[in-house]
Amino acid sequence: MSTMTNEHPQLGLFRSMLRIRMIEEAIADRYAEQEMRCPVHLSIGQEAAVVGACSALRKTDKVVTTHRCHGHYLAKGGDLRRMMAEIYGRDAGCCGGRGGSMHLFDDDAGIAVSQPIVGSSIPVGVGIALAFQQAQKNDVAMICLGDAATEEGVFHESLNFAALKKLPAVFFVENNYFSVYTHLSDRQPVRPISNMALGHGMASAQVDGNDVLAVQEAVTAAVTRARAGEGPSLIVADTYRFREHCGPLFDDDLGYRSPEEVDHWKQREPLERFRQDLRSRNIIDAAFEEALTATIQAEIQDAFDFAINAPAPSPASLGEYIYAQSA
């Protein structure tokens, strides 16, 4: 298998998807220890969308994202140790231990901001795209959001402004069909979400978000348009989250989605699907997977050890980084 020594380009996608899956499963496994004192929104099941989209970017491009941000942070090259330290509330965390899982950023890697107020990071991403345009940089801002954020007024204002100014922005929606427990069909009229771009004269596409290559292709086309000065695009990737909305467990017992629906998506589980595809094309084999899994496992162990052993922020720093400090 010479492709493995020469590193087939699709191996990077697989590695990134598997790494995100394993990191999030490790977070889920250890959450009950009650040492991670922040909510976690896992993207298990959404890795193809996350990795496909981020793989279309280069380092100097910027990503803004949401409460469900672990995958974007990792796929864009964010530092794992600093992420875990943040989730453990440590001083060495990427937000000094003050933000937790929903506030990951790594400016060096191009993760500009993660914000849990639904829709709030969208105009920040538009502002970054405007700054790129004004500075005549050839970089792109990718604005990651969930389907529910398309119901916020600021989403529509942002699309309008970005289209008007032909900004180098890609609006990337991971449509996992739920706003917490409410299905898309109870919140929006039946039509592709990507049709929202039509009213703004914006290019758009809706793709199978569990097919990493399809996502990569659609986002690459959008990024190419943005770099060429042809303006923004709206890309919608249809996908599914397998864990509970917030937390390490499963919430299917609440009855907000049927076992048949969950099973339908399990058949399209993105990591296994890509694994089988790569296996059938002889790009990976069992030995490769075993070695890769061991490498990632060691990296995860290192990051957890780092986080657990790192000091908490000092009490004296409590007043730092807040809006108004007392005299």
Ligand X SMILES: Cc1ncc(C[n+]2csc(CCOP(=O)(O)OP(=O)(O)O)c2C)c(N)n1
Q: Which residues bind ligand X (CB under 6 A)?
A: 67-68, 116-118, 146-149, 176, 178-180, 245
Work out the burial of residue 58: count CB atoms within 10 Å of its CB; fewer than 13 is exposed, 13-18 middle, 19 or more buried: exposed
Instruction: Compare residues 184 and 223 and give the one whose CB is closer to ligand X.
Output: 184
Q: How far is the CB of 187 from ligand X (least distance, A)?
A: 9
Enter the tokens of residue 117.
């107020």
Instruction: Compare residues 10 and 176 and give the one whose CB is closer to ligand X.
Output: 176
Residue whose CB is nearest to ligand X in the complex, by number: 146
Residues 92-102 as b/e (b if ≥16 CB within 10 A, e otherwise) read bbbbbbbbbbb
Q: How far is the CB of 9 from ligand X (least distance, A)?
A: 28
> How far is the C-alpha of 181 from the C-alpha of 27, rounded, in Å?
22
Q: Which residue has the tokens 């084999």?
A: 285
> How far is the C-alpha of 167 from the C-alpha of 194, rounded, in Å?
18
Q: How far is the CB of 26 from ligand X (least distance, A)?
A: 20
Instruction: Compare residues 92 and 149 and give the one whose CB is closer to ligand X.
Output: 149
Q: How far is the CB of 83 from ligand X (least distance, A)?
A: 18
* Total count of residues recorded for the chain: 327
Pairing state of beta strands 62-65 and 111-114?
parallel
Q: How far is the CB of 103 from ligand X (least distance, A)?
A: 13
Instruction: Compare residues 144 and 202 and give the one whose CB is closer to ligand X.
Output: 144
Instruction: Compare residues 62 and 67 and give the one whose CB is closer to ligand X.
Output: 67
Instruction: Compare residues 79 and 174 and give the one whose CB is closer to ligand X.
Output: 174
Pairing state of beta strands 182-183 and 178-179?
antiparallel
In angstroms, what CA-CA distances link 139 with 21, 125, 145?
Answer: 28, 12, 19
Q: How far is the CB of 145 from ligand X (least distance, A)?
A: 6
Enter the tokens of residue 255.
């009855």
Instruction: Compare residues 161 and 178 and give the one whose CB is closer to ligand X.
Output: 178
Quick one: which of 192, 152, 197 has its CA closest to 171? 197
Q: How far is the CB of 34 from ligand X (least distance, A)?
A: 22
Quick one: which of 252, 120, 87 has its CA closest to 178? 252
Q: How far is the CB of 68 from ligand X (least distance, A)?
A: 4
Q: Which secondary structure element, helix H or strand E, spans residue 289, and what is its range? A: helix 286-309
Instruction: Compare residues 114 and 204 and give the one whose CB is closer to ligand X.
Output: 114
287 conformational bin, left if phi > 0, alpha if psi -120 to 50, beta if neither: alpha
